Each structure stands twice: as structure tokens, then as C-alpha cells.
Amino acid sequence: MSIDKDLLDRLMEGRSPGDLFGKSGILAELTKALAERALSTEMDVHLDEERADDAPEGQNQPPNRRNGSSQKTVTMDSGKVVLDIPRDRNGTFDPMLIAKYQRRFPEFDRKIVSMYARGMTTREIQGHIEEIYGVEASPSLISAITDAVMEEVTAWQNRPLEPCYPIVFMDAIRVNIRSDGAVSNKAVFVALAVLPDGTRDVLGLWFQANEGAKFWAKVLSDLRNRGVQDILIAVVDGLKGFPQAIEAAFPQTRIQTCIVHLLRHSMNFASDKDRNAVAAALKAIYTAVDVEAAELALAEFEDSDLARQYPAIAPSWLRAWNEVIPFLDYPPEVRRLIYTTNSIEALNSKIRRAVRTRGHFPSDGAAAKLIYLALNATSTEWKRSVREWHAVRSQLAIMFEDRFPMA
């Protein structure tokens, strides 16, 4: 649609920005005029449709027609506007633009939800709305608008899932939630899955004060109940009780520990002057061509002066060895993808940014609402396809044969 530039020039001629964009400026008047024109058009369509329906035989019923208008104050982006809503004699007209009992344009609600999703508090949203639009939005109104998302959150948490996911990354963030009159620090576990076509999806959120096999059994049972039958590779960072639980729910799933987290843990023991040497020695382990070569590299590190100087490093690798060695069976394309849980850590950093302004949440549901909105606000970033997926998919199809679902 093209805009008549001459018309715009005439509208702007001799007027200041306040005359154009102020609360009583031309833009507000145009918004009102356009809305009322749209409502009038809706009425015309409504009356034409009713006249097209013949009256029942034997009844002499006059056709429906306009019956004046009534005023309604609605909240728009530009502030509060008084609209003349057309009425019909039969009282059957219910406009789509602004429904009978609606007092806010949908776009206004979406702006509030968007601000909430970006971590703004209710007080900040209230001040912003009043400053920009000159509209008083009470805390109860803001809560009502954002609470309307909860049905969507519930539906999302219970939606059916794919039968098989090639790779699932599991990680957690901590949030403060009030329960039984006290604030506790709870873990919110997030599952980020790679789909057969290479795109990514968050499978759900789970809240728990303390992780363990019982909790993970509940999470994995939830995934099974929602349709998941198989997970090829689960990438985790030392989640307590997870290996036992996933073995019971998905016995064929390969568990892979995050190599980067293991390296960071090792680096915590090394002094600054030895960090490069330790990193080089450990790199020989996780870049080995196979398990035998990796075991040899680990044995060499155990016999080195570095291992004797930092005796906690080698045992940390030995404790996690069963979750390290699956990594060594994969070709380079797959190794690069599962080398770290950075993809889910990047997602969690966006969630943390949204929850940072909250001292605590009144309930799990309140935290889930904000996290869900934060996920939606950044979905274009984390939903995109993983790099080199074509090569990774080919390797997974060879490694897992009939278990891998070709997209």
C-alpha cells in the first residue's frame, strides 16, 4: 500500500511534532477516524449479510438497519480514545475490531506482555505506559493481562512432543520462589532439543528445590507421557541422579557430559602460569581419535608433574569417564555439536536477564509465566537450525541406523 506524499505534506504543514504526535494530535485523530471507519464498514457488511438471509415464510419482519451509535472509551497505543460504536436495531452487531465488552485494543495488551517478557517489573511497566501513552495502567490490570498467558503456558507445557529427538541438552537456572511463607532457591530445569530437521525447541520447564534420581524420573516420565519414545544423545552437566533415571526411562540413550564444563572445573585448580599447560594436556584427552587413545592420554597426564601438582584434576575426569567416552565414538561434526551445553547456556542467559529484576516470585506459576514469555521473545535466536546439520544428520543416521528419524 502506497501513501500519498502530498497528503502527508499538507497534514504536516505548519505543525510541530507535538501537534502531530501529542495526545490530542493529528495521529490520535487519525487513529480514531480510521477505527470508526473500520467499525462502520463492519456494520455495512453485517447488515448486508443479514439482508441476504430471507425472512422465514409467513413473517413480515422489517430488515435490520442502523440505530445510531454509542460511545466507548478504549485504550490504544496513542492513549485513551472515545470511539463512536455503531449500533443496529436488532442488537446483533458485535464488531471484530473492538468487541462489545473489550476496553483495550489487542495491540495494547501485546505491548504490556512484551515489556513483561523483557524483565520489566509491574511498577516499571506502569510508569512506562503512563509516561509514553498518558494512560494509567493499574498493577491489577497489568497482572490480569499477563496472567491471561497462563492458559497458553499450561497448553505449551502439556503439548504433544515428537516421538524421537536426536539430541537433548539439559541444564538449569536458579530462581527465588516463595512457598509456605518462605523464599527458597529453586532450580528450573530446561530441556533444549534438536529436532530431526536441525531446528531447536524447548521441550518444557520443571521446578525442583533439589535434583536427584526421583526428580529426574518425574521429568522423563513427563516426556514419555507427552509422546517421546526415544532420545539418541542427552548432553548434561553432571546432573545428580540423571544417568540412573534416563537409563530406566530411555535405556538406549547415550549420556554425554559437557566437556567444556569438565575443562572449566579442571582449570579452577590450576594457577594462572600453568593454565595453558594443563589445557594442552587435557586437550589431548578429548581430541583423541578413539577411547584407547584417550585413556592413554589420561594415563600420561596422571603420571605428569602437572597431575602431581594439581592432584584433584585427574580424579575428576575419572569420575566422569563413563559420560566422557561416548564423545570419542563420534565423528568431528557430531563432536562439535555436543562438545558443550553452550547452546542451552546461551538460552539460559536470556532467561536470567529477564528474571534478574525480580527479587523473588510468588509461585512456580509466576516464574513459569515470565520464563515462557522470555523464551517467546527470543525464539528467533534459539529456534534456528544448528550449524552443519546436514553433515551431523548423515553421521547420526549411520551411527543410530533405524533409530534416527530422517526429516
DSSP string, 351-405: HHHHHTT-S-BSSHHHHHHHHHHHHHHTHHHHSSPPTTHHHHHHHHHHHHGGGS-
pLDDT in tens, 18-39: 554 555 556 566 667 767 777 7
Which of the four pLDDT bands, split at 50, 70 and 90, describes residue 221? very high
More confident residue, 191 or 145: 191
Q: Whole-model pTM?
A: 0.66
Phi, psi dihedral angles at 183 (to 5 degrees): -95, 125
Owner of C-alpha cell 603420571 = 303
| Exposure b/e, 5-43, CB count within 10 A at least 16 = b | eeeeeeeeeeeeeeeeeeeebebbeebbeebbeebbebb
Alpha helices in 205-241 (DSSP H): 213-225
pLDDT at 386 over 70: yes
Which of the four pLDDT bands, split at 50, 70 and 90, describes residue 5? low
Burial class (CB in 10 A: 0-12, 13-18, 19+), 66: middle
pLDDT in tens, 222-281: 999 999 999 999 988 767 778 788 888 999 998 888 888 888 889 999 899 999 999 999
Q: How far is CA 366 from CA 123, 149, 189, 352, in A?
A: 16, 10, 15, 15
For 362, residues 6+ apart whose C-beta sits below 8 A from its C-beta are 177, 178
Nearest-angstrom CA–CA distance, 395 and 333: 8
Three-state DSSP at 50 gives helix
Task: Provide the pLDDT for residue 296.
Answer: 94
Nearest to 126 by CA among 310, 92, 298, 135: 135
| Exposure b/e, 173-198, CB count within 10 A at least 16 = b | bebebeeeeeeeebbbbbbbbbbbeb
Q: 143-146, long-range: CB within 8 Å, 24+ apart, which pairs?
A: 145/109, 145/112, 145/113, 146/112, 146/113, 146/116, 146/369, 146/373
Which of the four pLDDT bands, split at 50, 70 and 90, describes residue 165? very high
Task: Provide the pLDDT for residue 297.
Answer: 92
pLDDT at 287 over 80: yes
- Best-predicted range by mean pLDDT (305-309, 330-334, 379-383, 398-402): 305-309
Task: Provide the pLDDT for residue 103.
Answer: 62
pLDDT at 189 over 50: yes
More confident residue, 181 or 15: 181
pLDDT at 406 over 80: no
Helix, strand, coil abundance in the chain, percent, nearest 5 = 50, 20, 30
Task: Read off the pLDDT of each residue in 382-392 and give the average, rounded to a whole number.
Answer: 84
Which of the four pLDDT bands, split at 50, 70 and 90, describes residue 310? very high
Task: Provide the pLDDT for residue 16.
Answer: 58
Task: Provide the pLDDT for residue 174.
Answer: 85
Nearest-angstrom CA–CA distance, 333 and 167: 13
Give the mean pLDDT of the chain.
80
pLDDT in tens, 327-338: 888 888 888 888
How much of the chain exceeds pLDDT 90, in percent? Answer: 21
Three-state DSSP at 61 gives coil
Nearest-angstrom CA–CA distance, 262 and 19: 62
Task: Provide the pLDDT for residue 1.
Answer: 46
Task: Provide the pLDDT for residue 352.
Answer: 85
End-to-end CA, the chain: 39
